[in-house]
Structure formats: C-alpha cells, structure tokens
Amino acid sequence: MNRPKILVTEALGPKGLEYLRLHADVDAYDLLPPQELPAMMDDYDAVIIRSAHRLTRELLVGHPRLKVVARAGAGFDNVDIKAATELGIAVINAPGANAIAAAEHTFGLLLAVMRNIVAGDAHVRAGGWDRAAFLGHELYQKRLGIIGLGRVGRQVARIAHGFRMQVSAYDPYLSSEIFKAHEVREYMDLGELIEYSDILTIHTPKTGPHLDETLLSRLPRGAVVLNVARGGLIDESALAQMLRDGHVQAAGVDVFVTEPPDAHSPLLDAPRVVTTPHLGGSTHEAMIEVGTMTARGVLEALNNQTPVNLVNVPIPDLPEQHLAPLDNAVRILGQIFSKLSEKVSRPLVLELGGTLNASLTPWLRQAILAAFLQDRVDERVNTVNALVIAAQQGITLLVEEAFNDDEPELGLRVEGQPDTGVAIALRHGQVALRKLAGIPVDLPWPDRALVTRHHDAPGVVGRVGTLVGQYGINIGQLHLGRRQAGQEALMILTLDAEPPADLVQDLTKLRDIDAVYAFSSH
C-alpha cells in the first residue's frame, strides 16, 4: 500500500510533523501563500491548515484524491463543512487540545485586571511607588459566570474552584448532569446569569450568544468582563462605553472583531483594559498537543478508522479504547450483511441492544450505512457522506433499540425478512457472530473466514474441506448452522491463510453449494 501524501500549509510543530512522517509523505510549510494552495490540492490525500487559509466549496470540489482536511485548532470556521460532507471528505480538528492554555490565560487576564498588575508594573518602571493607587480585589468568594461550559469553560470552572469562587454557567446545549459533575450552578436564562456575575467570561464558538449593550447593561455595577474565545462575541463599542462610565470595572480581552485591531478600536482607548494578541491557546504545550492530536486524527481517517476528533460525523462521547472496538464491530457487521444481501429492495433495520445507548445511535446509523455501501457503489463512501449516498441509492435505514444490561449487540436485516438477519456481539472488545442469514450461531469472528450457503446434504462438509486442503490452507475451526434438516444451511470456516479467488470460484462449483463468501480483516 502506498504511503498517503499530506500537505501542511502552516507551522504544525515538530511533534505533529514527526508523527505524520512516520506514516506518510509530508510537504510542510511554515506559511504557504494562500494563492498557491488551489493549484496544489490535486496532489494530496490530506491537507492540514490553521488560520491563514480557507477551504471553501470551490476549493474542495474536483479533487478525487483528497480524503481528509484538518484545521489544527479547536475552531473550524474556515472550512466549508457542508461541502466536505457532501464530498465524503473527513474534517478533523483539535478540540480541547488548548483548553488548559485558554483557561489559564483567562485567569492570567483576570488576575492582571483584578490586581492592577500591568498598570502597577508601568508605575514602578516610571519610578513610582504609590501602593494605595493600585489597590486591587481578591477572587475569593467572587461570583464567576461562565457562558459556555465546553472544554475550556470546564477548565475555567476547575481553576475557579481552586480560588474558592462561586461558579455558575449558562449552556443550553448541555444536560444538567454535566453542570453537577463539574460542581457548577446551572442558569437556564443568560440574562439571569449576567445579573448574577461579579466576573463574566465567555467560552463559546462564534455561533454563541452576542453580548450587546442590552445584555451587558444587566451586569452588576463594578463587574469584570473577559473574552478569550472569539472576536465579535462581545460588542466592543458597548463594552468600551461601559468601562468609561464605570459600570464595568475592568476587562481582559484576548480577541477582537478585527485582528490585529486598528488604531481606532474602541477598546484600545478604553480605561482599565488589559489586552493580548490572541494568545489564549498559544503555549508550547498546547501547540504540541494540537499538532499531535491533529496528526493522529488525520492518519486514522486516512486508514478508514473513526477519530474522536472527526468534525462532520456525530462521534459519540466515548473514550478511544471503547470507540475503536465498536467502530471495528460496525465495519464487520456491515461487510458481512452486504455480501450476503446482494439485492435490497426494502428498508434496512439496524438493531441495537445490550449496554449500547441512544447517544450512539446517530453515529451508528452513518457508520453502518458506510460499511454496507462500501463495496456497492463506485464513488467514495464513508461515515461522512453515508447518509447522502444512501439517499441517492434509495436506501432507508430504520433503527430498533432494546437496551439492557447484557453484552452490546448490533444486528442488521431487511425489513420484513428475518432470514436476512446478521447479528454480532462485543465481548471484551472482540466481535462474536450471533446470527448469520437468520440462523443462530455463536463464535468469535476470525481474521479470515469462508462462509458457504448450501443445501443440507451428506458429504458437503467433506467436499469443501478437501478442496480447501488441496489449496494448502489449514482450517482452524468449522461451524455449521441450519434452519431445518435437509434445507438451507451455513458453514463457517476460519482459515490460517487468505483464500485465493480461485478457491472461492472452485468451491461454488461443488455439488449442493449455493454461494461462497470470503472475508478478511486485512
């Protein structure tokens, strides 16, 4: 197999590049001029960008080799997600890789404004020593309001607890259990949180709430405002006026609507503001983590695995050691069912049971469709665009859920045709076959297997075993299943070597054999 070729358009960091180069051929730039990128898109399996480039629909279309694009950072506003999904291009980012850095920077700004550190430093350097002029405030017992309790917001809450602050948050997309788990008081109304907050900090994407003059005016007089998230989330003119009026005591600002801000930016003229040039996620440690997380996700996606940082697929919130076996199980189920079900004219039914849960269903629907369609269409199909391709093929997938405390189980069948059913279970991370063509079986799924559908008649097993032996292939295990004596039966052979195509063809010529299927995990 040829090594994939990857283009890195901006500095990724030595650790990330080193990881990529172990598995791929890499062309890396500290900063590729954006105008040069379009002419290079045809030559790569994956493209990694940061902030200087935009991957628009026009740029993504027409490059059949391109399978993965990545934004080395938490945000992905500069990638056309809809277009990438339609084209079956996986989009990778690095969520949370710089969460600790951003949270610590938030408190760096907060301490700077609460204790007058920047002004005090300038005062001493100018020869002054007026301690009373720079009297500050403690964080202890202050009421901290966090807008957005995602990865960064949770780290902010963790640090705030260390200062023994009273922590509350607003995030309409999270369950109450998340707030409880992080010991944060939940506010269902944004305005009420703002009214509560001595210190207000926002940690949302650009689609988060916009803090305009009306909302900011609900802050208690003397409050402090922080933005280490995205420029534009806070009305800069309104905040500057409230600083001049004294309604807002101080502000710490790391991001601006226009970066760098021009000389007329209202916050640059406002009093009691500490600013930094978008440094929130910029630490040596965060850069290393961003680079390695991005590199891992890109390579996993190129290898048809499911990275936890895949943007345009509803990836379940599972640890990687739990997601990977389930991902493998779905691929095996889809492959087996697809080979055994040549013509499908009715909806498919995905059966989910055991300790699986409903939060996995959106991802499982796309993953099973991708596995089923993989060898049935000429165009690229993967978990990213499986719903689009399935709709084009006229394939509908229904879901039946029967969750309980048993081992995780997945099944697939054609609606109204139980004899088409294939089912598997996950046992300690390994796939066990439970049903094949509606016939109950129970065996670990092997790396290499031959499956026959045949008439239940004397001599079939011997003829098949003899022919496999003539090809010099050893049979590890043999499992038989049937509906009724003398009717359709199944034979599953686990093999010590890959079965050649000639063997499969010769097996189909044997008496009483209806069909033969070869399976391999390689």
Phi, psi of 69 (to 5 degrees): -125, 150
Q: What mean pLDDT comes out for the span 38-66?
A: 95
* Average of per-residue pLDDT across 499-506: 93
Q: What is the pLDDT of residues 286-342, one digit of tens each?
A: 989 999 999 999 999 998 888 888 888 888 878 878 888 999 999 999 999 999 988
For domain 5-96+286-312, the question of CATH label 3.40.50.10800 is answered with no
Q: Average pLDDT for residues 470-490, to the nearest whole number?
A: 90
Instruction: Return d(Cα 518, Cα 505) in angstroms, integer.
Output: 11
Question: Mean pLDDT throughout 340-348?
Answer: 88
Residues taking part in catalysis: 230, 259, 278
pLDDT of residue 487: 86
CA–CA gap between residue 250 and residue 226 (Å, rounded): 9
Pairing of strands 348-354, 409-414: antiparallel
Interval 380-428: pLDDT, tens: 788 888 888 898 888 999 999 999 888 999 999 999 999 999 999 999 8
Q: Delimit the domains of the chain by residue range.
A: 5-96+286-312, 99-275, 313-443, 446-522
Helix, strand or coil, per DSSP, at residue 213: helix
Q: What pLDDT score was predicted for residue 207?
A: 81
Q: Where are the alpha helices (DSSP H) in 65-133?
A: 81-86, 99-114, 117-125
φ/ψ of 82, rounded to 5, equals -60, -45
The DSSP string of 309-349 is TBTTS---S--HHHHHHHHHHHHHHHHHHHHH-----S-EE
5-96+286-312 and 99-275 have identical folds: yes
479-489 core/surface letters (b: 16 or more CB in 10 A; e: else)? bebeeeeeebb
pLDDT at 222: 97
What average pLDDT does the segment 368-385 reach? 87
- Could you read off the pLDDT of 189-248 as tens digits, one per residue? 999 999 999 999 999 988 889 999 999 999 999 999 999 999 999 999 999 999 999 999
Task: Decide: residue 455, CB within 10 A, 0-12 exposed, 13-18 middle, 19+ buried.
Answer: middle
What's the whole-number mean pLDDT along residues 366-379?
A: 88
For residue range 357-369, list pLDDT tens digits in order: 888 999 999 999 9
Instruction: Give me the pLDDT at residue 314, please.
Output: 85
Average pLDDT, the chain: 93
Average pLDDT over residues 269-297: 93
Q: Tell me if 412 sits within 8 A of 368, measured CB to CB.
A: yes
What six digits make up the tokens of 254?
């790391």
Residue labelled with tokens 């209806």: 514
Q: Is the pLDDT of residue 268 over 90?
A: yes
Q: Would you say the C-alpha torsion 188, 193, 196, 201 has a positive or negative sign?
A: positive
Closest among 99, 47, 103, 55 to 73, alpha carbons compared? 99
The set of residues, in sequence order, having a beta carbon less than 8 Å from that of 185 and lying 6+ positions away, is 166, 167, 168, 169, 179
pLDDT at 435: 94
Whether pLDDT at 1 is above 60:
no
Distant-in-sequence, close-in-space partners of 492: CB < 8 Å, separation ≥ 6:
433, 436, 441, 443, 449, 450, 451, 477, 478, 479, 480, 481
Cα–Cα distance between 54 and 77 in angstroms, integer?
Answer: 9
Higher pLDDT pick, 74 / 23: 23
Beta strand pairing call for 417-427 and 439-444? unpaired
pTM for the whole structure = 0.66
Domain 446-522: give its CATH code: 3.30.70.260
CATH architecture of 99-275: 3-Layer(aba) Sandwich (3.40)
Helix or strand run (H / E) with residue 181 = helix 176-181
Run of H or E residues at 70: strand 68-71
Q: Across the strands, what pairs with 505?
A: none
What does the pLDDT average to over 123-131? 96
Amino acid 483: pLDDT:
83
Looking at the domain that runs over 313-443, which CATH code has it been given?
3.30.1330.90
Strand partners, 480: 491
